[in-house]
Amino acid sequence: MKKLLMLAVALSLSAVPVSCKKEIGKLGNTVLNAGKNEADAVIGFNNDFLDSYKRTSDHVESILKYSDAAVTKAKGGDVLIMPMVTGSLDYAIGKIKEVPSGFDKNKAAIEKDFQTYKAKKESIDKKFEELKSYMNAEDFKDDKGAKAETLNKEIQADAQVLFEAGERIVTNIKPATDAAEETILKDHPMKEYIISSKKVMNALDNAYDTLNKQHDSSFNAAEAQKRYDELAAAVAQNSKLDFKVKGTQYTYKKTDFESINRNAESFLDTYRRLIRNAKDSGKISDSDIRSIGYAYDAVLNSYNIFVK
């Protein structure tokens, strides 16, 4: 499953005077005309949903691995250790009380998909608990794994619907959140550093997406190297910036900004190793794609800490 580039929207309007009057489209005007409170609500929903979706994605993907292994074991296959399932704690979703009106024409679609997202999230957890109980009691010895197979199919189907709904929400919240972020960045002291860092994140996502596709198909060294060079250039440019901002309330952000660059450099180190190994073997290994995934998460987390 491809990781989504889940970027938190930069800070809060409470930290910045709002003076942007630039024409940014209907959704943008809706946010601007609604004022500070509505823009804050849009940003809050964006950040809370992305936090929830990332945690839920990791949790559900670990359940999918457990579910597949359960079927193998229940059918008499060799499974030495059942996969670990990551924690399901999701405080962010509890913060979402409603879909803000600032999403305008996309609001109804977001509401519908958000209800689907919550329902499938709950359904998957319930079916996982049922499957876990079944496996712990070794009930598969009575039905030759039939229930494990049924639950696995149901979990897989629910997960597909959950991910599709989540991706549509991410797409539909983007126009209004981009407008709110543009409003914030108009006069923000960290504007230069946020925009430059976002270029790093966009190049990071392009690179990771390319590697994921090649892992699922065939390795293309030239394409992988091109994405590497684009990311390396963005990281080099970002690293050249000397973090100096007006206002002592932002001085602590220098460490967060530098963390983005350190983790991005580490990602590039892992990327070079992946390319070298793939050239030797002719394919991207499961181990290397996992390593690049961990490195990706480190950069993403650094960015989100920086802009929050």
In order, the DSSP letters of 233-282 are: HHHHHHHH-----SSGGGTTHHHHHHHHHHHHHHHHHHHHHHHHHHHHHS
User: What's this model's pTM, rounded to 2 decimal places?
Assistant: 0.74
Report CA 202 to chain centroid distance, whole Å: 13
Predicted confidence band of residue 1 (pLDDT cuts 50, 70, 90): very low
CA–CA dist 198, 18 (Å, integer): 21
Report CA 153 to chain centroid distance, whole Å: 25
Cβ atoms of 161 and 122 within 8 Å: the answer is: no
Predicted confidence band of residue 9 (pLDDT cuts 50, 70, 90): low
Q: Of the ranges 124-128, 213-217, 250-254, which is most confident? A: 124-128
CA–CA dist 64, 211 (Å, integer): 22
Domain(s) labelled CATH 1.20.58.820 in the chain stretch across 189-308
Q: How far is CA 77 from CA 7, 103, 146, in A?
A: 41, 50, 14
* Structure-block tokens of residue 245: 């901002």
Asked whether residue 199 carries a pLDDT value surpassing 70, the answer given is yes
The residue type at 204: L
In degrees and rounded to multiples of 5, residue 2 shows phi and psi of -65, 135
Arithmetic mean of pLDDT over the chain: 87
Contacts of 136 (CB under 8 A, 6+ apart): none
**CATH architecture observed for domain 189-308:** Up-down Bundle (1.20)
- Among 298, 245, 291, residue whose Cα is nearest residue 272: 291
Residue 185 has what pLDDT?
78
Asked whether residue 308 carries a pLDDT value surpassing 90, the answer given is no
DSSP string, 39-96: HHHHHHHHHHHHHHHHHHHHHHHHHHHHHHHHHHHHTT---SSPPP------HHHHH-
Which CATH number fits the domain 1-188, given the four candidates 3.40.50.10800, 1.20.120.930, 3.40.50.720, 1.10.390.10? Answer: 1.20.120.930
pLDDT in tens, 60-71: 999 999 999 999
Contacts of 87 (CB under 8 A, 6+ apart): 59
* 3-state DSSP assignment of residue 168: helix
Contacts of 206 (CB under 8 A, 6+ apart): 227, 230, 231
Q: How far is CA 2 from CA 83, 164, 280, in A?
A: 20, 12, 25
Cβ atoms of 12 and 180 within 8 Å: the answer is: no
Residues of the chain with pLDDT > 70: what percent? 88
* Structure-block tokens of residue 187: 């006069």
Domain(s) labelled CATH 1.20.120.930 in the chain stretch across 1-188
How many other β-carbons are positioned within 10 Å of the β-carbon of residue 289?
17
CA–CA dist 266, 272 (Å, integer): 10
Question: Regarding predicted confidence, which is higher, 232 or 8?
Answer: 232
Predicted confidence band of residue 248 (pLDDT cuts 50, 70, 90): confident
Which DSSP state fits 284? -
Residue 71 has what pLDDT?
98
pLDDT in tens, 279-304: 999 999 999 999 999 999 899 889 98
